[in-house]
Amino acid sequence: MTITKRTLLAITSLVLLTACKPVPNPAAAPSALTAVRFATDWRAEAEHGGYYQALATGEYARRGLNVTFYQGGPAVNVPQLLATGAVDVGIGSNSFVVMNLAAVNAPVKAVAAFMQKDPQVLMVHPDAEINTIADLKNHPILLADESVTAFWVWLKAKYGFTDSQVRKYTFNSAPFLADKRAAQQGYVTSEPYTIAKEGGTAPRVFLLADEGYPSYANTVMVPDSFAAAHPDAVRAFVEASAAGWLTYLYGDPAPGDALIRKDNPEMAQDVLDQAREKMRTYNIVGKPGEIGQMSDARWKTFFDAAASQGVYPKTLDYKAAYRLDFLPKRSAPTK
């Protein structure tokens, strides 16, 4: 990579970071605490609830951190921000994001996973004669561009789907609502609820994780340089985030919800409430003893599935994508 490209990448990252809205730590004394710049993968929502809960309730500050949040969005590239040092910690939406960094030798690693199940779903019309994912063969499927190189690879391998089925999804559900044969991607915590409100009927939902899709989601990613310089801060961030997720899901979520809605005024309370309930019902984040956890075995399962389809070379050192020494302490036995 030339100096010109490096300079351009750094400038782009700084522009993206400037475009994100920062959320200061309300409980912090900045001069006394270690500053941490944290980039989320989308605008503030319940899927970030544990982090906002930790911020609002002082979990980060009590562990010596002054965490500033930067909201993600369609124009924000979190891996790029991490790789160039524009932020210190960021969210990886799924395991492909993490493994893609390892595939290009980027000095960034996942240190925790705050969703044990990827919340990705396929939705179909309730009156369509589709009872399993396998029934979608030859049906149009609305997918975002990034999904075609992620979970779509797994779907093709498992169910024999073909690229001719793909229709472009632009985060507008009108084409899905208009086509009774179509399926659409979404998050179990989001699109099924909004589509039910818009269309009047709840779609039938297939959670890919419950069909065997092995991806983690909501991973915490940290540049190697920051982890080497501030290992205590990384450990504190993970522990505080785990504490935030525990109380957001199983305690009083009001502090986190208030900060989410302050940061993202378009977010409605009913959307937050149903998303939190879905995360519990589908065990997306995990039981108390599972929150934040990762394992070599789970990463190997994901890598083997992706490499078998040619997404990554089978010789790739997949263990370079993550490290397990920063995992949060288990708060209770896994159930």
DSSP labels for 18-29?
HHSPEE--TT--
Indicate if 240 and 295 belong to the same structural domain. yes
In a domain, 74, yes or no: yes
- Indicate if 105 and 222 belong to the same structural domain: yes
Q: Which amino acid belongs to residue 322?
A: Y
Among residues 181, 211, 241, which one ends one of the domains? 211
Q: Per residue of the chain (335 residues), what is the pLDDT tens digit?
A: 332 223 233 333 444 444 455 665 555 555 689 999 999 999 999 999 999 999 999 999 999 999 999 999 888 999 999 999 999 999 999 999 999 999 999 999 999 999 999 999 999 999 888 999 999 999 999 999 999 999 999 999 999 999 999 999 998 999 999 999 999 999 999 999 999 988 788 999 999 999 999 999 999 999 999 999 999 999 999 999 999 999 999 999 999 999 999 999 999 999 999 999 999 999 999 999 999 999 999 999 999 999 999 999 999 999 999 999 999 987 544 33
Angstrom CA distances, 136 to 113, 121, 144, 196, 209, stand at: 30, 13, 17, 21, 17
Same structural domain, 98 and 240: yes
Domain that holds residue 64: 3-117+215-321
Q: Are residues 12 and 83 in the same domain?
A: yes
Asked if residue 266 belongs to a domain, the reply is yes
328 belongs to a structural domain:
no
Q: What pLDDT is attached to residue 321? A: 98
For residue 332, is it within any domain?
Answer: no
Q: Are strands 65-70 and 22-23 parallel, antiparallel or unpaired?
A: antiparallel
What pTM value is reported for the model?
A: 0.89
- Which of residues 211, 242, 262 is at a domain's end? 211
Tell me which H or E stretch contains 39. Answer: strand 34-39
What is residue 75's predicted lDDT score, i.e. its pLDDT?
A: 84
Q: Are residues 171 and 228 in the same domain?
A: no
Structure confidence at residue 203 (pLDDT):
96
Q: Do residues 155 and 113 both lie within one domain?
A: no
pLDDT at 200: 82
106 and 220 housed in the same domain: yes
Assess if residue 326 is contained within a domain.
no
In total, how many domains does the chain have? 2
What pLDDT does 326 receive? 98
Asked if residues 272 and 260 have their Cβ atoms less than 8 Å apart, the reply is: yes
What one-character DSSP code corresponds to residue 268? -
pLDDT value, residue 23 = 60
Q: Is residue 333 one of the residues assigned to a domain?
A: no
If asked whether residues 134 and 222 sit together in one domain, one would say no
One-letter identity of residue 224: D
Q: 231 and 251: one domain?
A: yes
Domain end call among 211, 233, 266: 211
Q: Is there a domain that residue 335 lies in?
A: no
Residue 329 counted as domain residue = no
CATH number at residue 182: 3.40.190.10
- The pLDDT value given to residue 7: 29
Q: Say whether both 240 and 104 belong to one domain.
A: yes
| Judgement on whether residues 99 and 230 belong to the same structural domain of the protein | yes
Residues 229 and 112 in one domain: yes
